[in-house]
Structure 1
Amino acid sequence: MEFILIIAVVVIAVLAYNSYRRTQLQNKKQHEISAAELEAVKRTADEDITRFGEELQDLDLEMVGKDLGDGARQDYQRALDSYESAKQAIGQVTQADQIKHVVEILEDGRYAAACVKARVNGQPLPQRRPACFFNPQHGQSVVDVMWSPPNGAPREVPACAADAERVRAGAEPDVRKVMVGPQRVPYWEAGPAYSPYAQGLFGGVGGVLTGMFIGTALGGMFAGGGYGDYAAGYQDGMNDGDNGDNGGDNGDFGDGGDGGGDFGDFGGGDFGGDFGGDF
């Protein structure tokens, strides 16, 4: 009798273990990112970097002839360093989760550029907020708005001024879409490959934005955090005077934190020329 009980226990244990292993393998398979998916999300981040570079060119022209203080010069250099670091980092990405660090570097640069404009125009420094949910290329959000996705429940999302106005008027916001197979879809519907991309944009404010992705392909990936924590990395970096730090995550990509360097991609190494002449 005891022998039979021992056999029964062993059989149950083996069955339980096999069930556990099947579940683990299924979960692993579900979270695997194909090479094509990785290239797609890298391309998305690279497009954002290029867009930021164009914005820095515009900022250079906008600041020509304006009086710059030390604060504006430091912020501008931090924006340039972030751009260079993001360019270097995206080229070294081999896994999807590394995209998060690239996006964080870029967001740091966007905030630094916004600070330059505020300082030069004699305005208070902007509050550090998450990117515009609808299209992160729009830069920092300025307000939270109630928005309902197609056939979805209302939720509060951060938006730039233009998209907030569109939503309040009942119009469609300018949504960032990416290619998934033969069709373009909003990035938040593009599947798990885009989770690190979204985490780089909103991971520091998870508690506030958890409901934002409910019912989407990226739903349920945020927890904890708040707007106040989101600004800490940038402010700490400024207090330390380490313009190459970019939030401390660049070390994952080797020398990406050096930044600066030759901005020849924008023509003859003159990127920041007129603006930089005030340095």
Structure 2
Amino acid sequence: MSSDVKRALTRVGVALTTAGVALTALVASVSPAVARAPGAPSPGEKVADALRKSPVYVDSAYADSVPPARQKQLVRQIEKTGLPIKVALVPIVQGDAYDGEADAFAEVVHDRVDRRELVLITGGDKWSGDLNGYEWPADQHQANDAVGAVGFLDETKDAGLADRTEKAIELIAEGDGTKVYEDATDHLRDGDSGSGSLPREDTAGADGGGTPWLLPVAVTVALALAAGALLFFVRGRARSRRGGPRRFPSATGAPFAFPQAVFAAAHTADEEALRRQTEAEVLALGEAVQAADTSTPGLRRALDAYAAAGTVLDAARGLPDLAGVLALVAEGRDALDRAEGATPPLPLCFFNPLHGRADRRTRWRPLGRRDQLHIAVCEECGAAVRARRAPQVLTDEGPEGHRIPYFEVPAERSVWAATGYGSLLRVSEGEGEGLAARVGRGDFSRGRDRG
């Protein structure tokens, strides 16, 4: 750590179905909240009303993909299963009543249908036209895995929406969707040294083309490094046209954003340049803390984050630790900027905090595991997950010396793996302790000792 940072610490005291279908939906549906006439049913109510009369509802945007004759076939297929299956094929796009979230649409339909037992197959969200599977009570019919398996099967690799929906119903009825999913994706784990880590999102379907999105970690890292300079150049030009560093939505309306130089160093894998930029960010946080009014509600948390950032920076061994410093700086800045009682902004991207501030939260379940996580992801990583592509994951050194995704390092050895750089902490929902508290109580130092 530089003498400037140390002096600052002393003074203070301590980030088609197709595009055509999405375009049709965007043009045809001016925001429902604006376009709906007084007293008219909401979009969710409209779908739920239709599902009470028939187990299959197909939006007009999908009329060509699932014509009336195929809809009738799906109805007969569902009736033969004897299961409480409902199909709601509705394009979910940003700006609609669900803000592009298939999960939100499913919950609305479930609430409106008001059935204790329900298996729901929906169309995709704003990232894709894929199918999603939901059920209440959860996992009784393995619907999520059954629907998720459809995109990985050879027989449905190039199938249309109607055929994929038919296959999803068939797999749900058979009741062994988890085994089918694991068998269909088994080849994706081959040669992966147990990494199983590039994600399967819990609620999204597979891509319609069945393209493997799980790559061996070594290949992923090599591709990421090779494309790094070009990726930053493209992003940098887009940012300069918008007149500054990229910012994502947050509960505060204007979250702290790191300058472009931080991301330039990260994308070119220049550790020394990133260290210098990170050091400057710690110093800037110290100056902001020093200048803050003593009545600032988050001043104590900001002080803790500043002290923790200095501790980690002083001992940082590589990119994962430097990313941790940036996460602590963001936590400190957010504490200073947030109004009392306001919901904290999202933390940095779970898959790679060097991507900057997360854009949204999503449920995700690592391949081969039954438990799911509620993580914060940046726009690019969120799109990659939904399209079954491998996000650019930050790697760290594993127990055997190999590079693995940082979140696969044993939690007792890495505070970053244990917390997902803030994604896995309840403080992001306004409760519990943050990263600074974990570092302050010694989790960072103990992990390094075990390593």
Per the normalisation by structure 1, the TM-score is: 0.37
Q: Greater helix percent: which structure?
A: 1
Per the normalisation by structure 2, the TM-score is: 0.26
Q: Which has the higher contact order (CA 8 A, sep 6+)?
A: 1
Larger radius of gyration: 2
